[in-house]
């Protein structure tokens, strides 16, 4: 095998690995663990979430509310979850929205409110 063939072969393996990574990421389900209770309470335009395992009370932003309420109904893939939130709030799914939702999801996962399987 010459250098050109080796580079082409490595490139194919890289593309194959990237495609597998994309496939694996798309199969990850997000869910709310069952070992604690989440209590949502709205007061006008504000919604509080009580996390029974930690004892923390969090003020949820407008995009976090439908995300959490949907996951309380059962697991869902990230892409479908973000589309659900956008549809619920009449938002366009663009790069800014997806970046924002990644931040929201990351914050909820750091607080052990949302998990991935």
* Contact in structure between 53 and 36 (CB atoms under 8 Å): yes
Q: Is the pLDDT of residue 10 over 70?
A: no
User: Is the CB of residue 105 less than 8 Å from the CB of residue 64?
Assistant: no
Instruction: Compute the distance between CA of residue 63 and CA of residue 45 in angstroms, rounded to an integer.
Output: 12
∠ CA 106-108-112, rounded to 5°: 110
The pLDDT score that the predictor gives to residue 94 is 96
- Work out the average pLDDT over 90-95: 96
38-43 and 46-51 strand pairing: antiparallel
| Confidence band of 35 (pLDDT split at 50, 70, 90) | confident
């Amino acid at each position: 095998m010459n250098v050109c063939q080796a580079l082409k072969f490595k490139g194919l393996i890289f593309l194959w690995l990237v495609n597998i990574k994309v496939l694996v990421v798309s199969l990850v389900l997000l869910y709310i663990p069952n070992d604690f209770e989440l209590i949502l309470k709205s007061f006008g335009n504000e919604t509080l979430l009580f996390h029974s395992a930690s004892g923390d009370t969090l003020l949820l932003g407008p995009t976090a509310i439908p995300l959490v309420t949907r996951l309380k109904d059962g697991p869902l893939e990230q892409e479908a979850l973000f589309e659900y939130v956008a549809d619920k709030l009449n938002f366009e799914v663009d790069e800014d929205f997806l970046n924002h939702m990644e931040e929201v999801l990351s914050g909820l996962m750091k607080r052990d409110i949302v998990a991935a399987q």
